[in-house]
Amino acid sequence: MSQVEQKPKENQQEKVVIDACHTYYKQLNDKVHFVVNNGASIVELRNVNGQRYIANAVKKKVTIYIYGTPGNNLASFMDGAEVYVFGNAQEQVANTMNGGKVVIYGNASDVVGYGMRGGKVFIRGDVGYRVGIHMKEYKHQIPAIVVGGTTGDFLGEYMAGGILLILGLNCNDPEQLVGDWTGTGMHGGMIITRRFPIPEHKLGREPVQVELNESDKRKIEQLVREFSNDFELNAEEILKAPFYKYIPLTHRPYGNLYAPQP
């Protein structure tokens, strides 16, 4: 049996290192699930180069370190694990993720957090289009995505719940903080920007700016402090800047499409 096929001793916390070089994504994911299901508490993946579905549907309290660039659908349907990416990530990080945490030390591409139902995603750099699309929340499950840099178009599209926090670190131009059509179709949750309000011409029809309440301020502080701890940033400096909150004007933005007009 190879190193990754050996079953760890019962009740022993185990670190397993897997070299992903020249490994097909299905084989890599089979290895990850095997070691996780057999007691590994830490999994370190080296030489990752575009393999998809890493940590897909992992439901155990395990920490996965990824060195390289994971492919599409990293942490999709994940529930409870923690994933740290020392590099960039491709599309659809945390697709329909139910719980856990993803920390990306570089940039991420489009559609981060599609249908995300719980957990946290922290991205040190920038993200692409349609981040937070169809995010939702239920009772105590409130997903959060924190972006250290800037975003592309359609941020929070059809958003139904959760928190999108855009810090804009190193962004000095309000026109560059978010893309066009932010919050289009939004009917739940909140989008929060730091330092700059979103220019009106970049907003969809649904979101409106409102004042932060004390609960909002506490949530922002908690997320910023955790984010800063992961990326070794100065939380006090980040929190000095003003923050701006956007929520949907209505919870049924397209209700009139499906009901007779009075």
Q: What is the pLDDT of residues 95-145, one digit of tens each?
A: 999 999 999 999 999 999 999 999 999 999 999 999 999 999 998 899 999
| d(C-alpha 126, C-alpha 62), whole Å | 26
Q: What is the pLDDT of residues 195-244, one digit of tens each?
A: 999 999 999 999 999 999 999 999 999 999 999 999 999 999 999 999 99
CATH topology of domain 110-250: Pectate Lyase C-like (2.160.20)
Of 25, 99, 114, nearest in space to 62 by CA:
99
CB-based contact 171:146 (threshold 8 Å): no
* Structure confidence at residue 251 (pLDDT): 79
Question: Given pLDDT bands bounded at 50, 70 and 90, which one contains residue 261?
Answer: low
Residues 30-51, mean pLDDT to the nearest whole number: 96
| d(C-alpha 224, C-alpha 243), whole Å | 12
Question: Given pLDDT bands bounded at 50, 70 and 90, which one contains residue 245?
Answer: very high
Beta bridge partners of 68: 48
Q: Which residues touch 133 (CB under 8 Å, ≥6 apart)?
A: 111, 113, 114, 115, 154, 156, 157, 158, 159
> Rg of the chain's alpha carbons, rounded to an integer?
19
The answer, as to whether pTM is greater than 0.85, is yes
DSSP-based three-state secondary structure for 62: coil
